[in-house]
Structure 1
């Protein structure tokens, strides 16, 4: 049989492994940062009606620019961050935030260009960077997983990247960035600055969104997703807010009709029921803070988290701990620095199972 090595793929892709967390059938899955609370029967009905409403027209292409959905998302972001003043011209949507990131790199990266990030961070940033033939530079985070603004500026001045990635709250550490760091990066960066806010809805009270910095910063892009707080991971809908000129740039690289009519309809139904979907956020915040306190009482080191997951350690052999949990029916994630593990925040019952299993291993 022909193997991958026999095919004439790009040299820079040889030896690479596909991205993806393990998909295992376990009683307690806490490894992909999903919202554990499914849609209510009322929302399931609304989504079904929305899909049925477009089904009769599936022989036609969908709205190529997803205008109505973008209007809904702009309204949601304006409510989330009063004063943002966003319109449909400031918002773009795609199949998950990963396609958003890919489109940004297709427009502003590419051969001969550089993207810079601060690892440990979202592992898809360097992966998509390399796939788009853009050079990746890791500027590293501090020991507490924060970013020193002076160090960030020095790295930017040294490498002059075309795209800078900031993640707040950061995955896998949960760390949120103060606005001063983002402002320092914006002032120093010669190209685009992308603030990945996939977990923004989980941030603690008083932690501002980078959306507040959009006015007057046409090179700033703030990305969001409906996969986490919105509990719509299966919808595959990511979006961004930026200056209208950025949207014009992304139109040059987006595939025609990239968002299906069904995706647009389902996402609009979810946004319309946003209050219901986001009602679980406060539950998950409290569960997260309780988990952090419990892990620390158990003598473990835990990163401060503004997300719906917690990074904890340190373990000389983290694989043994990960496997021990899996043997007890609990799946978490081996990700981040070598001696650390990440657990998503689940329901109270799921977190009780995690605590019981971890105590047995410890």
Structure 2
């Protein structure tokens, strides 16, 4: 019997998924990969050893289902976050993307609308469409900032069911004032999610939206271990909210969605949080070095409270990206006119990027 070849268009795909492209970024075996906002520092050896020990213990009982409520991990996240939170305030999943997917499954769906202020994290709209939720993009000022007045005006015009506020914003690195969060929450009956995936890279005295949770049952703050904890490959994200909000997420999670091995690895890493977070100071140093050097080279770096820098003033982003690629450096063309984005890596990786960019000789 001969094989029959079909295309995606031949399958009975949901109408709202037709023409969409899956999320992704170039993966290439280049010496310097600074394109997906990873923490490029390796997990310290002593931490890695403890993680391996924890996994080894969990492996002995891997024939049994894991703790469905991942109780110990929720307690550890609550201790790490502070602010009077308890395990009842915590949810976790396989990366913050799955956490946000649970939010869309619980509070979105057909006939409901998600909303954020573009440019922002591109997965938000994909998660919305993947759950049958409508999506509307708002806008930011030319410098990517967002005022409370503008945010409220836009959210009232849309009346969404879910609002996502990325703070600091991806892909721009822009900080977001808590006054914006408060104003948006008060102006709508929507679920409001503050995505603080890069919160640890903000100034130490910058307040977190965690301080706003009390008395706001529709507010949640999402975090991840991928960035500050150098845990991108482990896929662990988490969220803090009112206990009733957490109960809503239980309704849509898959059974035993966090494996015993994932729970063990995350617990071990959290026990070394101070050591892991020392890497953040090194990354911030390189981020600020990148911004200063880009400006000296004639580019226009945006203010960043994250582990990456978006820079404008690029005459031909595609050509510049390719020339860096040819020099063994991978960064990200996110589609913003005249702009490229680079992650802050180790000192050696940062030097390689800056030297390669300087050798191109392109300025605004």
Structure 1 residue runs without a partner (length 5+): 79-83
Deviates more, 1:278-287 or 1:323-332: 278-287
| Preserved contact between residue 120 and residue 336 of structure 1 (Cα < 8 Å) | no
Deviates more, 1:125-134 or 1:314-323: 314-323
CA deviations over 1:284-330 (Å, ceiling 9, x no partner) = 11111111111111111110000000000222321001001000000
Q: Give 1:64's aligned residue.
A: 68
Q: Distance in 1 between matches of 2:188 and 2:324?
A: 43
Q: Distance in 2 between matches of 1:336 and 1:160?
A: 28
What's the Cα RMSD here?
0.9
Q: CA deviation at 1:206?
A: 2.4
Q: CA deviation at 1:107?
A: 0.5
Q: Give 1:8's aligned residue.
A: 12
| Preserved contact between residue 298 and residue 313 of structure 2 (Cα < 8 Å) | no
- Verify: 1:47 aligned to 2:51, yes or no: yes
- Verify: 1:147 aligned to 2:146, yes or no: yes
Q: Give 1:316's aligned residue.
A: 315
CA deviations over 1:195-236 (Å, ceiling 9, x no partner) = 000000000232111001111111111000000000011110
Q: Give 2:79's aligned residue.
A: 75
Q: Equivalent residues in 2 for 1:1-362 (5 A)?
A: 1-78=5-82, 84-361=83-360, 362=362
Q: Distance in 1 between matches of 2:190 and 2:37?
A: 31
Aligned-partner SS, 1:139:
strand
Change (3 A) 1:93 1:186: same
Q: Distance in 2 between matches of 1:154 and 1:39?
A: 44
Change (3 A) 1:217 1:352: same
Q: CA deviation at 1:91?
A: 0.4
Aligned-partner SS, 2:139:
coil
Q: CA deviation at 1:281?
A: 0.6
| Preserved contact between residue 107 and residue 161 of structure 2 (Cα < 8 Å) | yes
Aligned-partner SS, 2:315:
coil
Q: Distance in 2 between matches of 1:150 and 1:304?
A: 21
Deviates more, 1:99-108 or 1:331-340: 331-340
Between the two proteins, the alignment pairs up a number of residues equal to: 357
TM-score in terms of structure 2 length: 0.97
TM-score in terms of structure 1 length: 0.97
| Preserved contact between residue 121 and residue 336 of structure 1 (Cα < 8 Å) | no
Q: Distance in 2 between matches of 1:119 and 1:71?
A: 35
CA deviations over 1:151-196 (Å, ceiling 9, x no partner) = 1111111111110000001011001101111111111121110000
